[in-house]
Amino acid sequence: MVSVPSPPAAGHLRKRTTQIPKNKVNYLNTGTLPKIPGEGGKLRSAPLRRGSDVKMKKTKKTNAARILDELGIPYRLQTYPVDEEHLDAVHVAHEVGMLPEQTFKTLCIRGDKTGVLFAVIPGNGELDLKALARVSGNKRCEMVHLKELLPLTGYIRGGCSPLGAKKEYPVYLDETCQLFDEIAISAGMRGMQIIASPGGIAKATKAVLAALTME
């Protein structure tokens, strides 16, 4: 089940400049989303196929991709050349031919009450730690130190995915994902992205949707 939080009390979260149609949330359990005419700057790309249908002669599947296979969620894998000096999501978006707003990065966070969690936000966005703390039941949240990332998740910088980590941590996904037919997340290694519907990603990660970025 995908958990969608109730609207916060007035004044608790800042007003969004992008309005999310209320009827979109109902599609998160289906793995597909309808089109939103004129919104999101959506890209037209190859149809999503189930992972088992994707020919992988030279590309080795990751644990994140195998999870989608097991759940029967359609996706495709997109490889790109790794630039050690430019591991940011905006650069990755350019390499895979998607918008930065559509290419989501996974941040490893520690809450003072709940412990480690993942925040998945647009590549060009800045995480609002206070907003994340509110929706995750913490008083304070902070970024996990880089040296802790590998021991905690099994992933390294530039290849952190909300799927397939050493432990199944809670996932919080920025609600703007609903503006797109498909979004990209790391496949769990540098040089590879998983591209799938927002509903599919939310279902696979058991994500809570919320407003997570700074204005």
The pLDDT tens digits for 50-75 are 443 344 445 688 999 999 999 999 99
Contact status, residue 115 vs residue 60, Cβ threshold 8 Å: no
**Where does the pLDDT of residue 41 fall: very low under 50, low under 70, confident under 90, or very high at 90 and above?**
very low
**Cβ-Cβ contacts under 8 Å for 9 (sequence gap 6 or more):** none
Give the model confidence (pLDDT) of 98-129 as tens digits: 999 999 999 999 999 999 999 999 999 999 99
Domains located in the chain, CATH noted: 65-210 (3.90.960.10)
To the nearest 10°, the Cα dihedral for 99, 55, 153, 98? 0
- Residue 177 CA neighbour count, 13 Å, CB half: 37
pTM for the full predicted model: 0.75
Per the CB < 8 A criterion, the answer to whether 100 and 90 are in contact is: yes
